[in-house]
Every structure is written in C-alpha cells, then in structure tokens.
Amino acid sequence: MPEHPALLPPDVRLAVLGDPIAHSLSPVLQNAGLAARGFPFRYGRLQVAEAEVGQVFQQLRRTCLGWNVTLPLKRAALNLVDEADHEARRLGAVNTVAVRDGGLIGTNTDGRGLHLALDEAFGAGWERKRILILGAGGGAGSAAARYLAAIGVPCLLLANRTPKKLLGLEADLARHTHVETYGWQHLETAFAGAELIVNATSVGLNGAPLDWDSGWLRPDHTLFDLVYRAEPTPVVAWARARGIPAHDGLAMLFHQGVRAFSWWFGDPLPAVAMRRALYAAAGRGQ
Ligand code: ATR
C-alpha cells in the first residue's frame, strides 16, 4: 500500500472531520480546553468527503488521540469504529472517536449536548412539549429524534422534504413514543400540532431565501436551530421576527464538545475556558 502524506502537522493530535469544515468552531473550543489542561498538542480541522472517510480513519489512528466527526460523516463513522458505545448505537451515529490501545472507540455526545442546550434555552419543561423536528430524515435530525424518543418525550412530529427517508425512523421510534410524520407540503399542519420546533435542515444556509410562511408561527411556539454558523441563522431570524423565542446551536456545540473532551481526557473538564473561547470567537456574550 502506498504511504499517504501526513494529513495533519505532527503537533496536531486531534481534529474535526467534515465537509464543509472551514466554518467549524470546534478547534477554538477544543484548543482552549487543551491549553487549560497544559497539553502539548493541538486540535485541527480536516476537510474529508464521504468517499474518503474510511481511509482517513485508518491514517489518523496511527497519529491521533481521537477526533470529532461532523456532517456528513456521522452515520458512516458508526460502521468505521472498532467499538461503538450504547449512546452511539442508539443514535445511529458517531460524533466522537477515541484511539485507545490502537482501537477506535466511538460515542455520540450530540444528544446530551442538545438536551443541555435546550435546558439552557428554555428551562425545565421543554421535554413535555410536542416537538416538531424539521429535517428528521437527515443525519442530524434523525439522531436528535432518536435521542428525544429515548429520553421519553411524549410526542414527536417528524417532517422531511423527502418523506420516504422517515419510514425506518418512524417504525423505530413508534416503539418509544407517539410519532407523526409530515411531508414538506404539510408543514403548516405540522407547525399547528407542535409547541417546540427543532430545525435540523440546512435550509437557508446556501444563501437561498427562506420561503416559510411566518403565519405558521404562534406566540406560544419556541424554536431551536441546530445550526450555529451566522448570528442569527436564517431560521432563528425568521422566528424572532414574529416574537418567538428562538436559539441557535452554539450552546449545543459547546455542550457536545465538553463531553467529547471528557471522552478523550476525563476530569478535570476545563469547561469555563472552553465556553469563554467559543463565545468570544462567535462574537457573543455568554
Ligand atoms: P445532516 O447530516 O446535516 O442532517 P443531510 O443528511 O444532508 O445532512 O440532511 C440535511 C437535511 O436538510 C435533510 O433532512 C434534507 O432534506 P432531504 O432529506 O429531503 O434532502 C434537509 N434539507 C436540505 N435542504 C433543504 C431544503 N431546501 N428544503 C427542505 N429540506 C432541506
């Protein structure tokens, strides 16, 4: 087998892999943690297309301590690790890999990250609401739906532009909770039946205008966007324009990242330093 050139500089022993990846704030978050703990290595970022991910995992296992996996690689990563923990298996995806004794051990910190971010955004009680997940057929949306069903939310409304992507998910989740599915032409009905709306689509991120009808929103709705790229995201701006409490995914990035750090290095967790660095890089107060 031909030798591949090194993917990362020698002092970079952790990274986030995805496509696209240039926008990712994971390096800021994780490097603040590494510096606080005094580790002599850094965390980088690596653009990896889905077709290359298997080969990249094999290369990184020789030089890295671990890595994060983001879109669109999380589902593929589940089949590429040597061992996936219970959380990764129940979410059907891996977002964090640790190299231990040469083996790749995967977990998923996104569900817990979402949970803590929703606690932060809306306080206790959100988990008793009727929750609509937009884009539930995508990687991020289906993992969120699986997590929420597993913690026992009473009702999930799943909507996806391509409704057939919901078929397997609906069957799996119906064992845990009440599930309703909606195609994109029935979004108005889905919003009418929901209290908390979670956006897991990439709608609006390619610069295309958001063509959702703001009449779908009611004053008692709350909205959470898994995306964190720009402030406000198109979906958050859309909801806030109607006076709806709406939050983006920056807090989720923070909470999943602290738990990833813990998967690699355990206690003590330098969460305060990590949060300060992340929010400063995003140009926000804490
Ligand atoms: P991820 O792993 O980030 O969830 P993905 O699997 O490509 O990425 O899923 C992106 C989600 O956004 C999907 O639910 C996708 O809908 P389809 O399953 O129909 O492709 C949704 N999405 C992307 N662009 C969209 C658009 N313009 N309108 C509606 N849904 C969109």
Instruction: Establish whether residue 116 lines the binding site of ligand 1, counting it when its CB lies within 6 angstroms of any ligand atom.
Output: no
**Atom of ligand 1 lying closest to residue 137 CA:** 14
Hey, whose CA ends up nearest to atom 5 of ligand 1? 138
Neighbouring-strand partners of residue 155: 178
**Atom of ligand 1 lying closest to residue 74 CA:** 2
Instruction: Establish whether residue 162 lines the binding site of ligand 1, counting it when its CB lies within 6 angstroms of any ligand atom.
Output: yes
pLDDT for 231-269, tens place per residue? 799 999 999 999 999 999 999 999 999 999 999 999 999
Hey, whose CA ends up nearest to atom 6 of ligand 1? 138
Cα(158) to centroid of ligand 1, in Å? 13
Check residues 207 and 131 and name the one with the higher pLDDT.
131
Cα(164) to centroid of ligand 1, in Å? 13
At residue 1, the pLDDT reads 43
DSSP assignment of 255-277: HHHHHHHHHHH-SSP-HHHHHHH
Q: Are 83 and 55 in contact (CB under 8 A)?
A: no
Put simply, whether the predicted model's pTM sits higher than 0.85 gets the answer: yes
The reply to whether 165 belongs to the active site is no
Q: Are 257 and 96 in contact (CB under 8 A)?
A: no
Instruction: Establish whether residue 161 lines the binding site of ligand 1, counting it when its CB lies within 6 angstroms of any ligand atom.
Output: yes
pLDDT for 70-95, tens place per residue? 999 999 999 999 999 999 999 999 99
Instruction: Establish whether residue 90 lines the binding site of ligand 1, counting it when its CB lies within 6 angstroms of any ligand atom.
Output: no
Neighbouring-strand partners of residue 97: 67, 106
Alpha helical stretches, state H, 92-150: 110-122, 139-150
pLDDT for 122-134, tens place per residue? 999 999 999 999 9
Contacts of 50 (CB under 8 A, 6+ apart): 19, 72, 73, 76
Q: Are 244 and 223 in contact (CB under 8 A)?
A: yes
Residue 40, Cβ neighbours under 10 Å: how many? 7
